Amino acid sequence: METFFEFFSFSDASIVSVTVGAILLTASSAVVGTFTFLKKKALVGDAVAHAVLPGICLAFILSGNKNPLILIIGAFITGWLSLIIIDGITKKSKIKEDSAIALILSVFFGIGILMLTYIQHSGNAAQTGLDSFLFGKAAALVGNDVITFGVVAVTLMLTVSLFFKELKLISFDSNFAKALGIPVKGIDLLLTTLTVLAVVTGIQAVGVILMAAMLITPAAAARFWTNDVKKMTILAAFLGAIAGLVGAYVSYAAPAMPTGPWIVLIISGIALFSFFFAPQKGVVSRMYEQRKMQHLMMNENLLKSLYHLGEKDDNLFKGRKMAEILSKRYFPKKKLKETLTRLKRQGFLISTQAGWSFTEIGKQKGQRVVKLHRLWELYLTKYMHIASDHVHEDAETIEHIITPEVEAELERILEFPTEDPHDEKIPY
Amino acid sequence: MRIEAKDPVVEFHDLTVSYHKKPVLWNIDMTLPKGALIGIIGPNGAGKSTLIKSAMGLLPLGSGHVRMFDQELDAVRDKVSYVPQRESVDWDFPTSVLDVVLMGRYAKLGLLKRPRKADKEMAMSCLKKVGMEAFIGRQISQLSGGQQQRVFLARALAQEAELYFMDEPFAGVDAATESAILSIMQEMTAEGKTVIVVHHDLQSAAEYFDWIVLLNMRLVASGPIEEVFNNKMLQETYGGKLTVLAEVGELVRKRQIPSREKY
């Protein structure tokens, strides 16, 4: 707890720089990643992330020190090269994009690991900490590094906001963009460059191996909450930033903990939460909707059965025992009880000595379902020429979903019929 | 049968287009008249979409060229609009109806500029024209096929162009949308605009268009509907598949030779 307050008071200058650095890195890669995600190029980020490793190592071997600017340049060159090669392979050979990505990713990463091992055994004292690029180390962000990475991160976000309109258009409809005369190739190149830059800076925080998650996961999580590209981009940045903040805290509180995996765990947790609990698109909300629909169908089926019973002995408001309802239509006992109590609570039924009976609005609701069922049967026989003994099953489903507008339309085109195809009265 | 247009707005000159070196359009040479509603008709795989895509510079030309308003496309892009096939985009993309229509204004806006109020008003009035004003803020994934097509048409109208290329605008739309789109097209041509439509239904083609282009890997006919839309021409387009042409195309692909010799 003590470290918690210590950290979040931001009294220590190094805490501030680590935190600001981590947040900028994660947020900027989330912003760029939104468009990689929308262009369905999620794997491209993964390829670049692995392909920058040889660049970093080569830059170190040639320069002999860990100046971040030099490492960024090295990383940038091999990251870019990998994308050009993937593009070339896809265009010039029969190998498809996914295979090309897999090929390039492993070849570049293999070379990178080879070089890293060589450097580690070379006895160069400056090499310590270079392996933090594998898993990332937010705590390594100090002083000038933060400024370098911060500038790159801010540039990324500014560039995306400047070209937002064009990025949106080429992600949605690149043929139309070309037809408009928008420099689609140029914008594509820009997005590629931004992706490489985002990866190059982001690996400082989460490392080579997990970088793809940092590009794609915030966007994937944000997509659950909004249907607007702009809101989605901002939300992705925000979610990425939260993960960055927590990551920075972890590396402060427990210096032995790997920062990158923590950041990725947090953002994955957020994505998982969105997957389950987002309104409309989330699993839970969809399950809730389904349950509501099931309740509605149970309600209506029960009211319909009561109406049928009432029709039979010409007394719609007579009380009925559960056994009598079951004789009309099968319901699982438990479900039947539940539904009866629910309908009572909702004011459609009352329970009396003689059993369950309609209230006035309960009767109207039951009558409407019966009417819709019979109207639909009539419609199917009249307009779709389906035999009258084949229409019942279909009407069983459709009766629950017909809206008042469709109802009025059916009544109009069938001219308020009085009888359905089985000579049963259609009640109004 | 090839009839030259008196007042040509588009000129195809010896156009040959290949996919992976296999020619799919051979030597298309024709002119199309200004202010006409023009239907491009032909069987599946005839190269109808390919023809307008290559006219819009979306596909590399094997040989030949296309000129519009007697100029290169790049010089007159602001006067030319393209409506892609509805299925060519992902309708689950997170954006709204108004945003899609505003895309029609992007070329006029230029890079780095945001749509202004005037652009939004323009987009609104285009949506009104296609009967979609009630759907302005609607998420595009919630639209029906016909509504999607209307949105695409509104986006094209927002470009305020003179010449329109539309890829299958009548495919998979409801009857109400079909007649709404047709009457907008007729309005456009009455204003002197030219509308070129890829179409696959012969029955309605006879009623809709003033000028017909019959295509089946090669140009079968191009001319006013009353002169080219007859049994003989249709037979040639749909019945008479030129097997030698298809075979030679296959040979070209296998040998990987360019359609014109280069040294």
Question: Which tens digits make up the pLDDT trace of A271-300?
Answer: 999 999 998 888 999 999 999 999 999 999
- Which residues in chain B touch residue A162, judged by CB atoms under 8 angstroms apart? 112
Question: Which of B100, B106, B143, B196 would you mutate first to test chain A, the one with the most A CBs within 10 A?
Answer: B106
Nearest-angstrom CA–CA distance, B12 and B19: 19
- How many other β-carbons are positioned within 10 Å of the β-carbon of residue A427? 16
Q: Which of A159, A165, A223 to mutate to test the interface with B (most CBs of B within 10 A)?
A: A165
Contact B94 A229 (CB under 8 A): yes
Residues in B touching A180 (Cβ below 8 Å): 77, 106-107, 159
Contact B107 A182 (CB under 8 A): yes
| Residue A173 to residue B107, Cβ atoms within 8 A | no
**CB contact (8 A) between residue A172 and residue B56:** no
CB distance B58–A172 less than 8 Å?
no
Chain A residue at shortest CA distance from B91: A172
For chain A, the structural domain boundaries read 2-7+21-278, 282-428
Interface test with B, best of A176, A224, A274 (most B CBs within 10 A): A176
pLDDT of residue B240: 62
CB atoms near residue A347 (< 10 Å): 11
Chain B positions touching A176 (Cβ under 8 A) are 82, 84, 103, 155
In order along chain B (263 residues), what is the average pLDDT of each group of 10 residues? 89 90 88 95 91 93 91 93 94 95 92 89 94 92 93 95 95 91 95 94 90 92 91 82 69 68 56
Q: How far apart are CA A426 and CA B255, in angstroms?
A: 72
Query: In chain A, whose CA is at the least distance from the CA of B139?
Result: A227
Query: Phi-psi region for residue B65, left (φ > 0), alpha (ψ -120 to 50) or beta?
Result: beta
Q: What is the ipTM of this complex?
A: 0.91
For the packed helices A229-253 and A164-172, what is the interaxial angle rounded to 10 degrees?
Answer: 110
A175: nearest CB among B84, B107, B139? B84
Task: Specify the CATH number of the domain A282-428.
Answer: 1.10.10.10
Spell out the residues 6+ positions from residue B246 whose beta carbon is closer than 8 angstroms to its own: B217
If you classify domain B8-255 with CATH, what class do you get?
alpha beta
User: What is the nearest CA distance from A176 to chain B, expressed in angstroms?
Assistant: 7
Provide φ and ψ at B42, rounded to 5°. 170, 165
Domain spans in chain B, listed from the N-terminal domain onward: 8-255
Q: How far is B131 from chain A (nearest CA, A)?
A: 20
> Chain B residue with minimal CA distance to A171?
B93
Which one of B49, B79, B111 would you mutate to disrupt binding with A, by most A Cβ within 10 Å of its Cβ? B111
A162 touching B (Cβ < 8 Å): yes
Smallest Cα distance from A394 to chain B, Å: 23
Chain B contacts to A (CB-CB under 8 A): 53, 56-58, 74, 77-78, 80-82, 84, 88-90, 93-96, 99-100, 103, 106-107, 109, 111-115, 139, 141, 155, 159
Residues 6+ away with beta carbon under 8 Å from A249: A4, A7, A8, A19
pLDDT of residue B259: 58
**Would the CB atoms of B82 and A175 count as touching at under 8 Å?**
yes
Residues from chain B that touch A179, judged by Cβ atoms under 8 A, are 56-58, 77, 80-82, 84
The answer, for A229 touching chain B at a CB cutoff of 8 Å, is yes
Distance from CA of B226 to the nearest CA of A (A): 32
Q: Mutation target for A interface from B87, B96, B99, B196: give the one with most A CBs within 10 A.
A: B99
B57 vs A171: CB contact, 8 Å cut-off? no
pLDDT, one tens digit per residue, over A219-231 is 999 999 999 999 9
Per-residue pLDDT, B258: 64
Q: Measured over all CA atoms, what is the biggest interatomic distance in chain A, rounded to whole angstroms?
A: 99
Enter the tokens of residue A204. 């400082």
- What's the pLDDT at B157? 95
A12/B contact by beta carbon, under 8 A = no
Fold agreement (A2-7+21-278, A282-428): no
B contacts of A172 (beta carbons < 8 Å): 89-90, 93, 95, 100, 103
Helix axes A13-38, A164-172, angle to 10 degrees: 40
Contacts of A52 (CB under 8 A, 6+ apart): A75, A76, A78, A79, A112, A196, A199, A200, A203, A208
Q: Which residue of A has its CA nearest to B164?
A: A179
Could you say which of 3.90.25.10, 3.30.479.10, 3.30.200.20, 1.10.3470.10 is the CATH number of the domain covering A2-7+21-278?
1.10.3470.10
**What's the pLDDT at B5?**
86
CB contact under 8 A, A229 and B84: no
Q: Which residues, given as ranges, of chain A have pLDDT below 50?
A: none
Which residues from A are below 8 Å from B149, CB to CB? none
Token pair recorded at residue B238: 């749909």
Q: What is the DSSP string of B44-72?
A: TTSSHHHHHHHHTTSS--SEEEEEETTB-
Q: Contact B95/A172, CB-based, under 8 Å?
A: yes
Residues of A in contact with B106 (CB under 8 A): 165-166, 169, 177, 180, 182
* pLDDT in the model for residue A222: 96
Quote the crossing angle between the two packed helices A13-38 and A259-277, to the nearest 10°: 50
CB B219 within 8 A of CB B235: no
**If 0-12 CB within 10 Å is exposed, 13-18 middle and 19+ buried, where does residue A275 land?**
middle
Cβ pairs bridging A and B (under 8 Å): 74
Q: Centre a 10 Å sphere on the Cβ of residue B98 and count the other Cβ atoms it contains.
A: 19
pLDDT of residue B261: 59
